[in-house]
Amino acid sequence: MSDLLADLYLWTKSFHIMSVLAWMAGLFYLPRLFVHHTEQSIPGDEKDALFQMMELKLFRLIMNPAMTSTWVFGLLLVFTPGIVDWSSVWPWTKAASVLAMTWFHHWLGYRRKDFVNGANTRTGRTYRMMNELPTVLMIIIVLSVVLKF
């Protein structure tokens, strides 16, 4: 199995990067949709229904599959011989950041359900601030992987 993973390393890495890009796009965009949803509609109006449809499709059709494939290809990279040196710091900072990003993904899913139930209590400012989290995590992940500190 390890020979197969080594042979497929560049393919696995390529699909991992594509998955991460799609996931990050959703993690950046969904909180922005929440800002506009909060500030431009009220529960039950036409805009509310439009925002809910956009948020649902983004979350279920793009973000969930992208997160899943990011994890699958990432774990395949972890199990590829010679790729990860667990005695270094970088795999641990990356792993912690990916776990935080996964938590944020699920937090967004719960906030989407708040809108569906007409129970959103957060402001546009809150969603703007939370929108910075994936940027911080992305910086940590990229620096960890590229610099391998």
Angle at 14 between CA 28 and CA 136, to 5 degrees: 30
Q: What local confidence, expressed as pLDDT, does residue 2 receive?
A: 72
> Taking a C-beta distance cutoff of 8 angstroms, is the pair 20, 28 a contact?
no
Given a cut of 90, whether residue 44 has pLDDT beyond it is yes
| 105-141 pLDDT tens trace | 999 999 999 999 999 999 999 999 999 999 999 999 9
pTM for the whole thing?
Answer: 0.94
Q: What local confidence, expressed as pLDDT, does residue 92 receive?
A: 97
Q: What local confidence, expressed as pLDDT, does residue 149 receive?
A: 83
| 52-100 pLDDT tens trace | 999 999 999 999 999 999 999 999 999 999 999 999 999 999 999 999 9
Cα dist from 47 to 33, 39, 56, whole Å: 12, 11, 14
Angle at 125 between CA 136 and CA 95, to 5 degrees: 20
